[in-house]
Structure 1
Amino acid sequence: MSTFQVPTVDITPYVTGGTPPDRAAVARQIDSACREIGFIQIRGHGVSPAVADGLASAIDDLFGLPLETKRQWVRPPAENRGYTPPKSESLALSAGVQSSTRMKDFFEAYNVGASVSEHPGDHLLEAHYAENTWPDVHHFQQRVDAWRTGAGRVARTMTTIFADALGLASGFFEGMTRHPIEVLRMNNYALPDGMTVQVDDDLIGMGEHTDYGIVTILWADRSPGLQVLHGGRWHDVSPAEGALLINLGDLTTRLTNEQWLSTLHRVKPPIVDGTIRRRRSAAYFFDGDAEATIGPLPTFVDDEHPALYTQVTVDEHIQAKLAGSRAGILNPGAVREAGRVLQSQE
């Protein structure tokens, strides 16, 4: 039997103003977890249970609507907002891996994020800051925005810890996250009314992929399904009650020249007695300023560790990733990510 465990770290010293030794101990734990696995479970994050319950109820209210009602909130793939029906994306394409059945991922989703109107006075690349479509669901925006605020604070706390853990200058990540691309993606793994699928071992909830940005803050219920790749095997991951899952994105992998590696993960829909058991999650992606340029930092490059990536803007990187997952266009720039996906399939 597998003994794999996602490391658990209490980040309270960074949330409540702990002593320098206490913060240093947290930074060491995060560094170890990021070097070994890339997934972390955090406690002491400071987001109240009431805010988490509000998010969960908003997800329930939205996805409980009829499929045709939800389809009115579909937006063009490039805008990365609104409703995504089941089997209209394939996350493996974002990692540069061709899917034999193309858009096959089973989940449905709803995306909201930072918009131009939230950053008055900033000159933004508007493709990444589209205005939100708020569904006609009672108090949906209020409940979701409360979670976005909390998750955004956690994301910035994590980047502060990252800078300390990597020995970077204090405030390093603040220079590339003045107006970050941020998206909250609420996911539902269940059959909408009137839709059927063949339930078998090949059914994909969400295909193998890495996250795109700096860090992801993940809320998930405790239904099984999420799996991470470690040591050549897929391992089940379920958060403890009240904990949040943290995983690294590709931009952090690029910055650290793969000393910290974004973790391949997927979702296999939980199947119980031949039917799909419902699963819900909400991923808050914290991806940096669109115009920021990302590449291996000199600290992580030397004769024994040559640069593994060229410089790329966050805009270019995210556009290529989204074109894969949402528009079905294979990402040709994800050579190293594709190699890891293909190796996992062997």
Structure 2
Amino acid sequence: MSFEIPTIDISPYVMSPYVANSPDERHDAARAAVATDLDRACREVGFIQIVGHGIPRESIDGLADALDEFFALPLDVKKTYARSSSENRGYSPPKSESLSMSLGVASANMMNDFYEAVVVGTEAADYPDLDLPESSYAANTWPDAAPGFRPAVEQYFSHAQTLAAILMRAFTDALGLEQGYFDSMLDHSINALKMNNYALPESEIAMPGEMTGMGAHTDFGILTILWADQVPGLQILGADNLWHDAQPADNALLINLGDAMARWTNDRWRSTIHRVDPPIVDGRIIRRRSAAFFFDGNYDAVIEALPGTLQPGEVGYPPITIAENIAAKVAGLKGGIAPGGDLREAERVRAAG
């Protein structure tokens, strides 16, 4: 069975902003074609490569430079920006996380993911008129030892938020829902940018026990916008239960769905399982960088089956809030505590060839 990540040009949505109650909005042929392609891709793969996304090249280059500036700092300096394991902010050193445990799938060496990461996201202060929990909207830790980091990351973060909103309009059309259906669930969305660096000295590779770049997992929220180096490593678990390599084309971004969207659609759309194993050449891991923008939705939004996604007699996932779902997955990621509930993806990971 052949495997291919569909490439979709979303410029009809980027270049033609939504106008409420416009008689042409839902009937524009170009946008309708994009919506149809998105529905097919979300049903069959759950990963999409997009072009025409509107994020300027200079902003993406600035993000890459920011990653280089931060990750080049000495490890002892980077560790000063670490946060509590209960928070999804700040620096995480190598081998301090296990993404497979977010699905309750333990590895031989529990906290074995060798990437290092730094995370920033939306804060409670971004919504001064709302009383939001710090547990979901924690304040950021910006590294003053890397002075170019914050402005470049904030610029990219802003572009990614705009793109996520555009994608949600396209997804709304693809699902046949009334425009604006998700608005009340997204107006104080938990958004986070996780910037990753995969590289270890040669001596680290010889450590005993199983090691992975980033363990098999699904993403937790609604959708993910991924920028990554064009270096092999990212692998996607296909419908054939085999791992398939994936890397972005020039000027493309990868989009994948998260658990919230899969639960909303009762798995009509796929929250695709993926992992990262960068190549090893001459005993050294080839450096790979990535930045995943997680668009997760409002902390208090309830994830339950959308209209039209359940067949007569079919039972969907039990309702859960965005915050509850994320908290359970983060407890596995950072604390090694397997989440409870309906984890259909875990069985697919265990059966993967």
Following TM superposition, by how much is the alpha carbon of 1:203 offset from its aligned partner in structure 2, in angstroms?
3.1
Distance in 2 (alpha carbons) for counterparts of 1:237 and 1:269:
11
Amino acid at match of 1:5: E
Which residue in the other structure is 1:56 paired with?
64
Is residue 126 of structure 1 aligned with residue 134 of structure 2?
A: yes
- Aligned partner (choices 44, 48, 55) of residue 40 of structure 1: 48
Q: Secondary structure of 2:135's match?
A: helix
Q: Secondary structure of 1:331's match?
A: coil
> Which runs of structure 2 are paired with 1:188-207 in the superposition (5 Å)?
188-191=197-200, 196-198=204-206, 202-207=210-215
Tell me, which stretches of 5 or more residues in structure 2 are unaligned?
18-23
Contact residue 203 and residue 269 of structure 1 kept, 8 A: no
Distance in 2 (alpha carbons) for counterparts of 1:307 and 1:145:
41
Contact residue 217 and residue 246 of structure 1 kept, 8 A: yes
Contact residue 248 and residue 263 of structure 1 kept, 8 A: yes
Which residue in the other structure is 2:178 paired with?
169
Contact residue 187 and residue 281 of structure 1 kept, 8 A: yes
Distance 1:334 1:327, change over 3 A: farther
Is residue 106 of structure 1 aligned with residue 105 of structure 2?
A: no
Following TM superposition, by how much is the alpha carbon of 1:273 offset from its aligned partner in structure 2, in angstroms?
2.0
Distance in 2 (alpha carbons) for counterparts of 1:105 and 1:298:
38
> Which runs of structure 2 are paired with 1:53-92 in the superposition (5 Å)?
53-92=61-100
Distance in 2 (alpha carbons) for counterparts of 1:299 and 1:4:
28
Distance in 2 (alpha carbons) for counterparts of 1:282 and 1:211:
13
Q: Deviations over 1:51-110 (max 9, x none)?
A: 000000000010011111100000001111100000000001101212331111110000
Following TM superposition, by how much is the alpha carbon of 1:199 offset from its aligned partner in structure 2, in angstroms?
7.5
- Aligned partner (choices 163, 178, 181) of residue 190 of structure 2: 181
Is residue 314 of structure 1 aligned with residue 322 of structure 2?
A: yes
Amino acid at match of 2:167: M
Distance 1:221 1:243, change over 3 A: same
Following TM superposition, by how much is the alpha carbon of 1:32 offset from its aligned partner in structure 2, in angstroms?
0.6
Distance in 2 (alpha carbons) for counterparts of 1:226 and 1:248:
15
Q: Deviations over 1:266-297 (max 9, x none)?
A: 00122112210000000000000001111112
Is residue 12 of structure 1 aligned with residue 11 of structure 2?
A: yes
Distance in 1 (alpha carbons) for counterparts of 2:231 and 2:208:
18
- Aligned partner (choices 247, 254, 279) of residue 288 of structure 2: 279
Contact residue 90 and residue 326 of structure 1 kept, 8 A: yes
Normalising by structure 2, what TM-score? 0.93
Distance in 1 (alpha carbons) for counterparts of 2:203 and 2:341:
35
Normalising by structure 1, what TM-score? 0.95
Which residue in the other structure is 2:21 paired with?
none
Q: Secondary structure of 2:339's match?
A: coil
Amino acid at match of 1:143: A
Q: Deviations over 1:122-154 (max 9, x none)?
A: 121220100000002122110000110111111
- Aligned partner (choices 305, 310, 315) of residue 296 of structure 1: 305
Q: Secondary structure of 2:275's match?
A: strand
Following TM superposition, by how much is the alpha carbon of 1:201 offset from its aligned partner in structure 2, in angstroms?
11
RMSD of aligned residue pairs (Cα, Å): 1.7
Distance in 2 (alpha carbons) for counterparts of 1:45 and 1:201:
41
Identity %: 50
Following TM superposition, by how much is the alpha carbon of 1:195 offset from its aligned partner in structure 2, in angstroms?
6.5
Contact residue 102 and residue 329 of structure 2 kept, 8 A: yes
Following TM superposition, by how much is the alpha carbon of 1:334 offset from its aligned partner in structure 2, in angstroms?
4.7
Contact residue 225 and residue 236 of structure 1 kept, 8 A: yes
Q: Secondary structure of 2:194's match?
A: strand
Following TM superposition, by how much is the alpha carbon of 1:21 offset from its aligned partner in structure 2, in angstroms?
0.6
- Aligned partner (choices 208, 227, 233) of residue 225 of structure 1: 233
Q: Secondary structure of 1:235's match?
A: strand
Which residue in the other structure is 2:20 paired with?
none
Q: Secondary structure of 1:97's match?
A: coil
Distance 1:132 1:195, change over 3 A: farther
Q: Which moved more, 1:216-225 or 1:116-125?
A: 116-125
Contact residue 203 and residue 268 of structure 1 kept, 8 A: no
Q: Deviations over 1:306-335 (max 9, x none)?
A: 123000011110100100101211112252
Q: Deviations over 1:178-216 (max 9, x none)?
A: 100111000000016x96232899530000000000000
Distance in 2 (alpha carbons) for counterparts of 1:158 and 1:334:
27
Is residue 257 of structure 1 aligned with residue 266 of structure 2?
A: yes
Following TM superposition, by how much is the alpha carbon of 1:34 offset from its aligned partner in structure 2, in angstroms?
0.4
> Which runs of structure 2 are paired with 1:143-154 in the superposition (5 Å)?
143-154=152-163
